[in-house]
Amino acid sequence: MPAMASDPKKTFVLVLCSVLLMLAGLARAGNFYQDVDITWGGGRGKVLDNGQLLTLSLDRSSGSGFQSKSQYLYGRFDMQLKLVPGNSAGTVATFYLSSQGSLHDEIDFEFLGNASGEPYTVHTNVYSQGQGGREQQFRMWFDPTKDFHTYSVLWNPNHIVFYVDGTPIREFRDREATGVAFPKSQPMRVYASLWDAEEWATQGGRVRTDWSQAPFTASYQGYAASGCTSPDAAACARSNSPWMYQELDSAGQDRLRWVQTNYIIYNYCTDTWRFPQGPPPECSAK
């Protein structure tokens, strides 16, 4: 304390930093009343616990969904989800970013339901300029229906990284030099939904939804969006936010390899049926 008192400038800086950190923590806590709009579902989406919890429900008549009030060009986006328990076959819960239009960009987390006793499939995809088909699918190393787990997207000019509980599971780098478009000019909103996909979601549609189990409910909390809200890509690129040029360190690269080795169940880059002439160019680019 004496040292701080003898240097007023240092004291001011330390106090200011503490206040900024506190405000940053409050901002990251999020509140669904302030941050999102429930856009469809006829009352099946509900905000609870003073804005700290949001539930989406699905029955035979309709699912439900919400979107962020703000749109972003680059950022870090986190959501805690607890998925539909039990026999969730045919249901899909989502957390994703998307722009609008036929040439839209999109970054997807989709959670494909299961028959009781079978694991969930975590489906990821990246669209750029309306072109998708870049699916990777994973099993998780935990039961995603028992507790909340954090699913995150880091999106900056260099790459997109998908995280689960802070562990990177997939990286999609900017490969425009190989002729592959990368999302870098269209602002995106954050979306979430719970919907009926029994025609394809579970074992290619072979396992249908058991509607006697409805309504199905997925729970969302801990939404945090830290991104550039300017539509100007050049202005966003000048941001000094920590996520703007964040890369995976050696520990992150090791964790990514661990997931890709042990938990991936489908990778479009190795699908020789879809790509008999060889994988798309971004798959082999260094």
Residue 16, pLDDT above cutoff 60: no
pLDDT per position as a tens digit, 82-94:
999 999 999 999 9
135 band by pLDDT with thresholds 50, 70 and 90? very high
List the Cα angle 214/220/223 in 5-degree steps: 160
286 band by pLDDT with thresholds 50, 70 and 90? low
Does residue 254 contact residue 168 with C-beta atoms inside 8 Å? no
Q: Tokens for 70?
A: 């703000």
141 band by pLDDT with thresholds 50, 70 and 90? very high
For the chain, helix (H) and strand (E) counts, in that order, are: 6, 15
HEC letters along 81-146: EECCCCCCCCEEEEEEEECCCCCCCEEEEEEECCCCCCCCEEEEEEEECCECCCCEEECCCCCCCC
Architecture of the domain defined by 28-284:
Sandwich (2.60)
What would the mean pLDDT of 12-37 be, rounded to a whole number?
Answer: 56
What does the pLDDT read at residue 240? 86
Of 110, 118, 171, 198, which one is the catalytic site residue? 110
What does the pLDDT read at residue 202? 66
pLDDT per position as a tens digit, 231-276:
888 888 888 899 999 999 999 999 999 999 999 999 999 999 999 9
Note every long-range contact of 22-27, with CB atoms under 8 Å and residues 24 or more positions apart, other chains counting.
27/226
What would the mean pLDDT of 108-122 be, rounded to a whole number?
Answer: 90
- Tell me, yes or no, if 106 is annotated catalytic: yes
Domain positions in the chain: 28-284
CA distance 62 to 215: 10
Does residue 169 contact residue 259 with C-beta atoms inside 8 Å? yes
What would the mean pLDDT of 67-78 be, rounded to a whole number?
Answer: 97
What does the pLDDT read at residue 26? 36
CA distance 32 to 45: 11
Structure-token match 């009781």, residue found: 116
User: Max CA-CA distance within the chain?
Assistant: 73
pLDDT per position as a tens digit, 175-214:
998 899 999 999 999 999 999 987 766 666 667 888 999 9
What does the pLDDT read at residue 230? 87
- Tell me, yes or no, if 282 is annotated catalytic: no
Report the amino acid identity of residue 79. Answer: M
Of the spans 5-14, 23-32, 43-52, 238-247, which averages the highest pLDDT?
43-52
Residue 104, pLDDT above cutoff 80: yes
CA distance 73 to 182: 12
Of 106, 118, 135, 198, which one is the catalytic site residue? 106
Q: Which of 1-10, 160-169, 216-225 has the lowest mean pLDDT?
A: 1-10
Residue 77, pLDDT above cutoff 80: yes
Q: Which of 177, 169, 189, 185 is nearest to 128 (CA)?
A: 185
Q: CA distances (Å), 149 to each of 87, 212, 219, 221, in order?
A: 19, 27, 11, 10
Report how far Cα 175 is from the mean position of its chain's Cα atoms: 21
